[in-house]
Amino acid sequence: MPSLNDIRSTFLDFYGRNGHRIVDSSPLVPRNDPTLMFANSGMVQFKNLFTGAETRDYARATTAQKCVRAGGKHNDLDNVGYTARHHTFFEMLGNFSFGDYFKDDAIAFAWELLTRDFGIDAKKLLVTVYHTDDEAAGIWKKVAGLTDDRIIRIPTDDNFWRMGPTGPCGPCTEIFYDHGDQIWGGPPGSADEDGDRFIEIWNLVFMQNEQFADGTMVPLPKQSIDTGMGLERIGALLQGKHDNYNTDLMRSLIEASAHATSADPDGPGKVHHRVIADHLRSTSFLIADGVMPSNEGRGYVLRRIMRRAMRHAHMLGAQDPVMYRLVPALVRQMGAAYPELGRAQALIEETLKLEETRFKQTLDRGLRLLDDEVSRLPEGGALPGAAAFKLYDTFGFPLDLTQDALREKGLSVDTAGFDAAMAEQKAKARASWAGSGETRDAAIWFDLAELHGPTEFLGYDTETAEGQVLALVQGGAEVKAAAEGAEIQIIVNQSPFYAESGGQVGDAGWLRTETGQAAITETRKSAGLFLHVARVTEGEIRAGQPAKLEVDHPRRAAIEANHSATHLVNEALRRALGDHVAQRGSLNAPDRLRFDFSHSKALTAAELAQVEAEVNSLIRQNSAVETRIMTPDDARALGAQALFGEKYGDEVRVVSMGSFAGSGKGTDGATYSLELCGGTHVSRLGEIGAFVLLGDSASAAGVRRLEALTGQVALDHLNAQGARLAEIGGLLKASPGEVVERVKALVDERRALTNELAQLRRELAMGGGGAAGPEAKQINGISFLAQSVSGVSGKDLPALVDEMKARVGSGAVLLVADTGGKAAVAAGVTADLVARISAVDLVRAAAEALGGKGGGGRPDMAQAGGADPSKAAEAIAAAESVLANL
């Protein structure tokens, strides 16, 4: 029986033998389609090839594409675990032709693979075609020998694919497998088509037309092929299973879940294990591709999936985090096919563990609230929307998690009520990935890029260059010329200016022509164009003119020093904290650097010192910084670090710096830092000059932020710190080396004086120094000692109450203090009387008289506050009343 890994390899090898380029899966976060939350089909990474916006050096491709359907239009989350074939994560096997072969070969390839390589009984296969696609029907008859009764014509859009309202489109043919009449269901197109007898296993799309906004459709100049076959479905078929969750891969994850929870994989908790197995895959791959849990956009979808899995683990009796313990089982199954999973294993485990630990605290309380609400519902009732919103807002329960929990009880949620409760919040905060204002202006850049092509970057080798002004944009519109004072964006054919990317800010400098000069303040990138944001400072700049471009060298040098230091920091953090450290963001500006990385807690002073010392040691090495161009596979083989989730082309730029014996990185196995990077850097590490860490702070959940200085800015900072130290030493009349000990002595002296002053105040308040204290009253057989004082802080009251309790021996005491316009009250009851009277009752009565409310503590000691200290007598009387009414 072939494993899913075998089936994937067989598919890719088959198309590889037939002239297809085997292309790696793209990341789950689409890089070329902002309309998609996640990649949900194999064609996503090839969209620009189908539309003609991009060309590559191959016309045939095959992939096993990672896909997630858990948000937006394509959302399988609610059904996962309860059906045989729904998943949040799945693999789409596909073959693609970009203007090369068409229907004949696509159908012939598919039939050969299914019946010969996979060995499927041809008699069990039938197909659908679009009702007017006589060509496809004829090919099926010719290639496969199918009769008319096994070629079903479908007149609906189920068999006609469109990329969107306009653009490429065409008919498709779907291949079905007949599981036999022992299973209920009818063929596609029949009234019983929703049964499980006939299962779709492959969809072949024939992109042959282009549709326009007016509804007209014309043939495409280059006809293309896009096919998709779910690995989980074909795997179940080839393994003789009728349920995707019984395939070898899914079963291994289910058994890992059963082992971790000590719950029978096929018992009453069967659905829980299936959900955990599925969600383990989607969460792990999303984290590996750069998505982190958050409360918005893709991060919120990840958090929803995580929390749904965690609730199911809770239902299996898990008391401690479970999901992270299953990651090794997933890596064993899928790490060979998807190496990024192994590279990110430490990060995945830490992220899952941290999220589950945090959610566990609110999960228990939220489920108790849900059970309480459910107990009041009639059979088959609906949870009020307000209750569902409280679970969401207070306990972090996504709506689908609440719906999932209620589904098991045969209940539902009043979603209209939930939406109403959410309306106000939705008005204040839009979905973060819905787009920005800048996106609305992007069309002009795409038009200019189509006209002129991308800007050529020369800045790796030079900071000055000559170019041609291709276009000027002012106020969102193209202009022919711009006069002095105008603020514009300049497009040139080639530029030494680095455009902001990868955390490195864009360059600044100057552009000069024969008629004018412009100061460039920043450089950005859009649609492959470098946008030189500028202000005309002299004369006039005209489109079409030759120009001289000059980068501000001191500024660029400072940026490069910070960028190179960031690489050193990244590696130093991994060595100090562990392999789970992964870059989550950075800023390399001329005056500072900022580095965000995955780590769940603040760095200790020792860890910060270790990182700072290691970076400075490498700077002193003054080793050369080298760059090489190579394939991504070669770079990873050398140990290069890459950003999780980043999609790299066929060639990457690898930056190496520093030496560290035994690192295992680089061609010599002794390179300190090796990263894929498109930014600019110093030529030798000594050019960084100096490195000073300013501190560590929290950036987001599970993400820390370091800020640091380099070069002259770092030295200026150290000099300023030294000047401050000298100033402090002068005030203390101590040398810099004696300052710490002198400050310690002052702190100790202050602490002693503070304690002495507090004691004197307490003694004075309690009648010390010869003054007589109040006498205890007898109320209802209880000795009651009460007193009002001033000049005593609220935190001193418990100690004074203890002294009063010692004085009275057996009884109750009350102390009311004027704390500078506010009142503080404390009460105490001796141990022999706490069964009869509680100090909490006394302070609450007194606090009410003082214009306050509440109060709390223990039966023998309690405290409260009030607004009006002049009511001290009334407060004492109120406490006496409590005793009198016992």
Q: Which residues are annotated as a binding site for Zn(2+)?
A: 563, 567, 677, 681
Helix (H, G, I), strand (E, B) or coil at 612: helix
Q: Are strands 412-413 and 382-383 parallel, antiparallel or unpaired?
A: parallel
Sheet containing strand 652-659, edge to edge, reads 626-630, 652-659, 671-676
Tokens encoding 644: 């999780």
Which amino acid is present at 293?
Answer: P
Residue 868 to residue 865: CA distance in whole angstroms: 9
Please enumerate in sequence order all residues whose Cβ is within 8 A of that of 37, keeping only pairs 6 or more positions apart, or say none.
Answer: 71, 72, 297, 298, 301, 433
What backbone torsions phi and psi does residue 487 show, to the nearest 5 degrees? -100, 120
Residue 132 to residue 154: CA distance in whole angstroms: 9
Residue 289 to residue 227: CA distance in whole angstroms: 24
Please enumerate in sequence order all residues whose Cβ is within 8 A of that of 101, keeping only pairs 6 or more positions apart, or say none.
Answer: 60, 225
Q: CA 755: distance to chain centroid?
A: 49
Please answer whether residues 681 and 564 qualify as being in contact, where contact means their C-beta atoms are separated by less than 8 angstroms. yes
Please answer whether residues 663 and 639 qualify as being in contact, where contact means their C-beta atoms are separated by less than 8 angstroms. yes
Give me the helices (H) in 640-708, please.
none
User: E strands along 333-407, which residues?
Assistant: 382-383
Total residues belonging to the chain: 886
Q: State the CB neighbour count (10 A cutoff) for residue 398.
A: 19
Residue 221 to residue 168: CA distance in whole angstroms: 11
**Could you give the maximum distance between any two Cα atoms of the chain, in Å?**
118
Please enumerate in sequence order all residues whose Cβ is within 8 A of that of 297, keeping only pairs 6 or more positions apart, or say none.
Answer: 37, 431, 432, 433
Please enumerate in sequence order all residues whose Cβ is within 8 A of that of 634, keeping only pairs 6 or more positions apart, or say none.
Answer: none
- Nearest residue to 665 via CA among 635, 626, 632: 635
Question: Which residue has 């479908």 as its token pair?
Answer: 154
Residue 385 to residue 390: CA distance in whole angstroms: 9
3-state SS, one letter per residue, for 173-225: EEEEEECCCCCCCCCCCCCCCCCCCEEEEEEEEEEEEEECCCCCEEEEEEEEE
Q: Which helix (H) or strand (E) holds 722?
A: helix 711-732
Residue 861 to residue 831: CA distance in whole angstroms: 10
Q: Tell the burial category of 428 from Cβ atoms under 10 Å away from its Cβ (0-12, 13-18, 19+).
A: exposed
Please enumerate in sequence order all residues whose Cβ is within 8 A of that of 303, keeping only pairs 6 or more positions apart, or say none.
Answer: 293, 294, 295, 355, 398
Tokens encoding 809: 């021996």
Tokens encoding 219: 């043939």
Which residues participate in the annotated binding site? Answer: 563, 567, 677, 681
Please enumerate in sequence order all residues whose Cβ is within 8 A of that of 750, keeping only pairs 6 or more positions apart, or say none.
Answer: none
Question: Which residue has 């800010």 as its token pair?
Answer: 505
What backbone torsions phi and psi does residue 485 show, to the nearest 5 degrees? 95, -15
Please enumerate in sequence order all residues whose Cβ is within 8 A of that of 820, keeping only pairs 6 or more positions apart, or say none.
Answer: none
Question: Which residue has 């000594």 as its token pair?
Answer: 686
Tokens encoding 851: 């214009």
Question: Which residue has 């040691």 as its token pair?
Answer: 617
Give me the helices (H) in 510-653, please.
553-577, 605-621, 632-637
